[in-house]
Amino acid sequence: MTPFFALLALQSADPPPSPLAQLQCPADPAVICQAEAGPNHAFLYAYPAEIRAITMLHASFRRSQSLAWERFQALSAEARRNPQAIYFHEEVYTIDADRPELLALAVRQVRRAGGDETRWSVGSLIWDRRGGRLMTFEELFEDAEAGRALVNALFCPALRQARDTALGLGGHEDCPDDYFARLIPGSDGRISRLRLVFDPLDGPDDGRFDVEIPVTPRLILSLERPFRPAFAASDGPATACRRASAGQPCS
């Protein structure tokens, strides 16, 4: 796990999303990357090169990368003793929104430690450019509880409808308390939608859901004033899709 923010851990018994040989650094100067591969083990850690321009954030990434690499050394030693098993750690950060007010990134971790289980972790990271700090989604709001209520008013009905459609009517009134919000920009670069990622609510055979909701005028007014220019109201609908399991395409 990265030391500077939390992730949701999603379990999957599926095979790795990519063969070990494909866990390689891209030939792209816009990406900072470290990779190593062996017969039955691989390591990949990658993040956008523009992070280097943010000294404090870059230092956090370098510490995170160093810790991930240190932990993987123990796994690679085990992999050499157990050549029939697969071991890998993939950790990739990508930019969702890049604004003068904030930088929002998505992260995906995929790990396998010799057994049949592949563990996924997904999350989001928000950097307050003016404050020079990492922040949570709730800290974007003047009142965190009120902000959550506005988000849930769109999120929970969309999730309930998606579960009813996929799993049958009834029994889907519950809504997750813990989720990550990815900040998705529109065509003008301002954030116009929120993609909500959360632990599965139903049985392992029922898959998991992703929900995306529009940024509304009321939601913008509930934000801390310095962050409001980063957002734009959208009149698009709330949408949801279902994955058969972690790492599978959304449909």
Answer for the pair 96, 185: CB distance below 8 angstroms, yes or no.
yes
pLDDT (average), residues 110-117? 84
Count Cβ atoms below 10 Å from residue 70 Cβ, excluding itself: 9
Q: What is the pLDDT confidence band of residue 233, given thresholds at 50, 70 and 90?
A: very high
Assigned token pair, 167: 């799993």
Position 124: which residue type?
S
> For the segment 137-152, what is each residue's pLDDT rounded down to a tens digit?
999 999 999 999 999 9
Amino acid at 174: D
Q: What pLDDT shows up at residue 168?
A: 76
Which sequence spans correspond to the domains of the chain?
Answer: 8-135, 137-243
Pick the CATH number of 8-135 from 2.60.40.3500, 3.30.420.40, 3.40.50.720, 3.30.565.40: 3.30.565.40
Judge whether residue 19 has pLDDT over 70.
no
Pick the more confident residue, 12 or 93.
93
Comparing CA positions, the residue from 204, 205, 203, 210 lying closest to residue 171 is 203
User: Rounded mean pLDDT of the chain?
Assistant: 85
Q: How far is 176 from 14, CA to CA, in rounded Å? A: 24
The pLDDT of residue 251 is 61
**Tokens in use for 247?**
């790492």
CA angle 103, 123, 159 (to 5 degrees): 110
Q: What is the pLDDT of residue 133?
A: 96
What local confidence, expressed as pLDDT, does residue 226 receive? 97
Q: Is 105 in contact with 125 (CB distance < 8 Å)?
A: yes
pLDDT at 200: 62
Q: How confident is the model at residue 31 (pLDDT cuts 50, 70, 90)?
A: very high
- The more confident residue out of 207 and 232 is 232
Q: What is the distance in angstroms between the CA of the first residue and the CA of the last residue of the chain?
A: 28
In this predicted structure, what is the pLDDT of residue 95?
97
